[in-house]
Structure 1
Amino acid sequence: MFRPLIVYIGLRYTRAKRRTRFISFITLTSVLGIALGVTALITVLSVMNGFEAELRERILGMTAHATVTGGEGSLRDWRSLEPMLQMQPSVLAWAPYVEGQVMLTSDRRVSGAMLRGVLVDYEPKVSEVAQRITKGRLDQLKPGEFGMIMGEELAQALGLIPGDQVTVITPQMNATPAGIMPRLKRFTLTGTFKVGMYEYDRNLALIHMDDAAKLFRMEDAVSGLRLKLDDLFNAPKLTRDLAQVLGRGYYVSDWTRAHSNFFKAVQTEKSVMFIILLLIVAVAAFNIVSTLVMVVTDKRADIAILRTQGMTPAEVMGVFMVLGTVIGAFGTLVGCVGGIALALNVETLVPMIEKAFGVQFMPGDVYYISQLPSKLVWADVYQIAGMAFLLSLLATIYPAWQASRIKPAEELRYE
Structure 2
Amino acid sequence: MTRPFSGFEFLIAWRYLRARRAEGGVSVMTWITLLGITVAVFALVVTLAVRAGFRAEFVDTILGANAHVSVYPVGEVDENGNLIRGFTDYAALTEKVRTVPGVTYAAPMVRGQVMVSANDQVAAGDVHGMAKADLEALPRIGTGSKAQGSLADYDQGVALGSELARTLGVGIGDKVKLISPDGPKTAFGQAPRVKAYPVVYIFTAGRFDIDKVRVYLPFAEAQSFFNREGQADEIEVMVADPDHVEAMTDPLLGATSPNGSLWTWKQSYGNFLRALTIEDNVMFIILSIVVTVATLNIVSGLIMLVKNKGRDIGILRTMGLTEGSILRVFFLCGAFTGTIGTVAGVVLGCLFALYIDPIFSFVNYWSGGGVWDPSIRGIYNLPAQLQLGDVASAAGLALGLSYVITIFPARRAARMNPVEALRHE
TM over 0.5: yes
Q: 1:240–1:292: structure 2 CA closer, same or farther, 3 Å change rule?
A: farther
Q: Following the alignment from structure 1 to structure 2, what is the Cα–Cα distance between the partners of residues 58 and 221?
A: 28
* Residue of structure 1 equivalent to 2:179: 168
* 1:228 to 2:241 alignment: no
The partner residue of 1:46 within 17, 30, 49 is 49
Cα 1:324/1:226, change in 2 over 3 Å: same
Letter in 1 for 2:196: F
Output the amino acid matched with 1:176: T
What is the match of residue 196 of structure 2?
187
Which residue pairs with 1:250 in the alignment? 260
| Structure 2 partner of 1:22 | 25
Change (3 A) 1:337 1:361: farther
- 1:100 and 2:103 matched: no
Which residue does the alignment assign to 2:395? 385
Given that 2:94 and 2:107 are in contact with CA atoms closer than 8 Å, whether structure 1 keeps it comes out as: no
Aligned to 1:74, what secondary structure does the other structure show? Answer: coil
Aligned CA distance change for structure 1 residues 384 and 211 (closer, same or farther; 3 Å): same
Secondary structure of 1:95 counterpart? strand
State the partner residue of 1:406.
416
Instruction: Note if 1:210 corresponds to 2:213.
Output: no
Task: Measure, in 2, the Cα distance between the counterparts of 1:361 and 1:404.
Answer: 57
Candidates 111, 130, 140, aligned match of 2:153: 140
Residue from 287, 292, 303 that aligns with 2:297: 287
How far does the alpha carbon of each residue in 1:102-149 deviate from its partner, in whole angstroms, 9 at most, with x for none? Answer: 33455765433211111112222234323457454334343xx6x433
2:406 corresponds to which residue?
396
Q: Deviations over 1:19-51 (max 9, x none)?
A: 434313322332233223223322343244334
- C-alpha separation in 2, matches of 1:79 and 1:377: 43
Query: Which position in structure 2 is the counterpart of 1:334?
Result: 344
**Equivalent residue for 1:128, pick from 120, 140, 154:** 140
Runs of 5+ consecutive residues of structure 1 not aligned to the other structure: none
Q: Cα distance, 1:196 vs. partner?
A: 3.6
Cα contact 1:148–1:190 (8 A) shared by 2 = yes
Could you state the TM-score of these two structures normalised by the residue count of structure 1? 0.82
SS at match of 1:130: coil
Structure 2, unpaired ranges of 5+: 76-84
1:185 is paired with a residue whose SS is strand
2:269 to 231, 234, 259: 259
Q: How does 1:234-383 map to 2 (within 5 A)?
A: 234-304=244-314, 316-347=326-357, 359=366, 373-383=383-393
Give me the whole-angstrom Cα distance separating, in 1, the residues matched to 2:140 and 2:417: 75
How big is the shift at 1:234? 2.5
* CA deviation profile, 1:373-396 (whole Å, cap 9, x unmatched): 432111101000011112212322
**Distance change in 2, residues 1:270/1:151 (3 Å):** same
Cα distance between partner residues in 2 of 1:87 and 1:261: 31
Q: Deviation at 1:190?
A: 2.2
SS at match of 1:396: helix
Residues 280-323 of structure 1 show CA distances to partners (whole Å, capped at 9, x for unaligned) of 43332111011111012123344445566776766654543333
Query: Structure 1 residues 15 and 362, CA, compared in 2 at 3 Å: closer, same or farther?
Result: farther
Task: Give the TM-score of the pair, scaled to structure 2.
Answer: 0.80
Cα shift readout 1:78-102 (whole Å, capped 9, x = no counterpart): 2223443343341122211011223
Secondary structure of the 1:128 match is coil
Greater shift in the superposed pair: 152-161 or 310-319: 310-319
Letter in 2 for 1:15: R
Is residue 117–residue 168 contact of structure 2 (8 Å, CA) maintained in 1? yes
**What is the count of residue pairs matched by the alignment?**
407
Q: Shift in Å at residue 224 of structure 1?
A: 1.5
Task: Give the distance between the partners of 1:214 and 1:112, measured in 2 at CA.
Answer: 20
- For residues 14-93 of structure 1, the aligned pairs below 5 Å read 14-16=14-16, 18=20, 19-72=22-75, 74-93=86-105
Contact 1:115/1:204 (<8 A) preserved:
yes
Question: C-alpha distance in 2, partners of 1:214/1:383?
Answer: 57
> SS at the partner of 1:221?
coil
Residues 339-370 of structure 1: per-residue CA shift (max 9 Å, x gap): 3344334446667x68xx97488679965867
CA contact (8 A) 1:15 1:24 kept: no
Distance across 2 between alignment mates of 1:124 and 1:190: 16
Distance 1:412 1:135 in 2: 82
Q: Which moved more, 1:385-394 or 1:323-332?
A: 323-332
Deviates more, 1:214-223 or 1:367-376: 367-376
Q: Distance in 2 between matches of 1:12 and 1:97?
A: 75
When residues 67 and 185 of structure 1 are mapped into structure 2, their CA distance, relative to the original with a 3 A threshold, is same
Q: 1:9 to 1:406 in 2, by over 3 A?
A: same
Match of 2:4 in 1: 4
For 1:340, give the aligned amino acid.
Answer: C
1:318–1:2 distance in 2 versus 1, CA, 3 Å: farther
The offset of 1:4, in angstroms, is 1.9
Aligned-pair Cα RMSD in Å: 3.6
Aligned twin of 2:131: 119
Deviation at 1:205, TM superposition (A): 1.4
Change (3 A) 1:128 1:358: closer
